[in-house]
Structure 1
């Protein structure tokens, strides 16, 4: 096989690693295949990267900034809102190959040891991803930016995983619609229509967790109000909410009988 000489070997190795790791996975890619695709000798490959672990770390570090939301501030609320929604608009290049997800999620799945440097890089990337969304959120008029940043990051990762499982981009389209709903304040009439239900559920949920570590209804209501400045719109009709929370019926004060 013809080997290319001169400078640029490191860049060719990283380019080959990116193509192969994305297309077939980290564990399925061997160093011999990497040297062949990069057109370098195995010796040159190991000069630049003494081990495959070092190469995987360099690959993730090279991708890190490109896959993060923008760090530059925006001033208009509409621009910030579009930046938050834009994370769901990123598409892979047109190809007939199966969808492969995102490199940092894939690396977390392929490297089982949480203490491994590659896993730590992936975790740091995910934390930074949520932090950047949190930084953008206040400019979109959100009053609970940290909560929304974490929720959008979770929604994004879930949509990516489902897209891979179904080999379809539709989950990301659905996730964008959900995020758009979260970022759209409800109309005053919608808030007014659910005012009694919000108050009743809040009273009940102070002592009734939904179980298994899930946030209580009160936390959901408070989060919604903090995020949008409006009351929470329950997804349940009033009669279903009362059925789910029997003690959440509207409390009516007894009439005082005059003396």
Structure 2
């Protein structure tokens, strides 16, 4: 993809953005990308432009969020008034209508930054003060926990269940649960928040916070899945 342009596609139409171009998305008559006349969709929902060689997506609605969906990984929620520079060159802006989702596809310059959720600050490898290493067995279990987030998108981008991890590694779901519990407790001891519940909250399913921490801090990546396809 030419680093000086981005392409926006909606249904059968296509627009090419240069550095000074801006595409607006919504059901309003003046929008570049005209969505169906559906009251669940904003009149002016989003703006897409090329800034400094990267695509910037802004939520121009007063009340309605939308999501940016990368080819793999979690949806990135963009709140009203917020903006995001998606961490990948190709993605879709997904807007919820009354009869289903509307997809505006964007193909821009490649990005190499790590996937992050908007508004979340994570520690870099230089500042992380957690354990120097975990065991190989712990790492394998956490890698399998992250597998769907590294290979799926949309609703498929979620942490693996204890049963799914156990089936892939030949372990019992309870053993997997115990391994992940030990990892979470170790991280909590090093000051990583959100890995264990307060005493008054009995829910102990912290698979998503642990998976996000592992991915955002570079402890797990696609190469850790152990097969070329990542399937």
TM-score above 0.5, yes or no: no
Structure number, greater radius of gyration: 1
Q: Of Structure 1 and Structure 2, which has the larger fraction of its residues in strand?
A: 2
TM-score (norm 2): 0.30
